[in-house]
Structure 1
């Protein structure tokens, strides 16, 4: 829903899109209604976009590129920047690194890692968080999270390793149906050739060692072969570049992975849990 206060808080990219779209529309001699007819939106929606009362959605940007872009990819590039602006502040510095990474080594604990979440799971998780968010903000965060999936099919292909705590598989989020779909999607991701998926079982600490006790880790190898660590807890984040510290985290991750089930065993556990829910 378009809101007057959005005009004051609209991002720089939203303002640029509004200005460029309006000027290109006027150059074509179109009214807002005519542009709306071309892109499949109402005249009110076009007006809201041009005044920043309701910034352009990702879908609207796709159609604006088709109708007004003239091959310059102005609105296509705006999709990237507007998506970035929707991420939480503590996450914005990490996303470009994730999307360009040569290798990602991930360890997730309480819930399914965001890169592997279904839309319904992400919506239940984000919408059920605290403090409560507006419906519009939930929509923005879900859209931004799902957009990260582009990494799976990117060229050149990136390598992704995920170690996931078994407890995250057994913790229902949203509903039993949502959780079953999430497990099926996770299994599909695990079958990708560029993904290695392992479960750290609940009994991992029975032999006296539990390397995952200190929480989640995101290890990144960039296309330039730099190695970084990203940590996030309670809406605070830390991006670590110091080689010595990165090496220590990499060694800890290697130990976590060594204590996990094999990829085949991990996939079998997902299939077992799906069967139990049916």
Structure 2
């Protein structure tokens, strides 16, 4: 009964993968223990995937693909399984982000997920309420790290991030984690396709007081704007509405410190920790 409830509550792609894996295994005339042995996994690990008790890792999928000679059928699921690691309201944006010509973010509460270290991201997720289970925190942390593939993608995507100063002042996980996070920001800013700017609190009133936003430029050069709050998201695609927010972002950028000044600001902040 517990296994049935677990399977029913699993994301659709996880359920589908489990069903296909079981079908291929049975067609090959293998028990779970026998398939596990071919994959260098235990039979219980195979059972956990087939009953949706645990989602398959990329390594598990590769091993099953080879052991069952699946012709790419299992490996083709990786892209869709990765999407389901994200909250439902964020999955559509992740697809846009990973394919975008450019991604621009204005952050007011937290450092953008693309620029978070693993430890910082974990602390953010541990602070969620209602609280997340340990396995959920780890899965979401890894999913957030997977988004960094955007940095090295070909063709190269341009990433622009404006950090409101409070994002740098918020203490998450203690001084060591924060220092490492600052160091990672400096490292990211050195990339040729990444621009990081800081909007200092000394600016007073500015165009970003209405809240954070993300802009993506799609392959057909359309600008979309994504906003999120308390697990709800809005994707703005109407050209006139998106254009207003794009102009607002440009104003915020003009009010922020320049890229070089921003790196110095972050380095000085690192020295304070």
- Runs in 1 of length 4+ with deviation above 6 angstroms? none
Give 2:237's aligned residue.
Answer: 241
Unaligned runs of 5+ in 2: none
1:33 deviates by: 2.4
Query: Which residue is 1:161 aligned to?
Result: 160
Structure 1 residues 163 and 52, CA gap change in structure 2 (3 angstroms): same
Task: Please report the TM-score for the alignment, with normalisation by the length of structure 1.
Answer: 0.90
Query: Deviations for 1:28-77, whole angstroms, at most 9, x for unmatched residues?
Result: 444322332343322111111112232323432243334445552x3333
Q: Which residue of 2 aligns with 1:91?
A: 90
| Contact 1:5–1:53 (8 Å) recurs in 2 | no
- Counterpart of 1:178 in structure 2 is 177
- Confirm whether residue 78 of structure 1 aligns to residue 77 of structure 2: yes
Structure 2 counterpart SS, 1:86: coil
User: Once the 2 structures are TM-superposed, how far is the Cα of residue 246 of structure 1 from its aligned partner?
Assistant: 0.9
Say what the alpha-carbon RMSD is for the aligned residues.
1.9
C-alpha distance in structure 2 between counterparts of 1:268 and 1:41, whole Å: 49
Quote the residue 1:256 is aligned against: 252
Question: Aligned partners of 2:104, 2:127: CA distance in 1, in Å?
Answer: 27
1:274 has 2:270 as partner: yes
Structure-1 separation of matches of 2:212 and 2:235: 13
Once residues 44 and 250 of structure 2 are traced to their aligned partners in structure 1, the CA distance between those partners, rounded to angstroms, is: 55
User: Is structure 2 residue 1 aligned with structure 1 residue 5?
Assistant: no
TM-score by length of 2: 0.92
Give the count of matched residue pairs: 272
Given that 1:4 and 1:53 are in contact with CA atoms closer than 8 Å, whether structure 2 keeps it comes out as no
Structure 1: stretches of 5+ with no match in the other structure: none
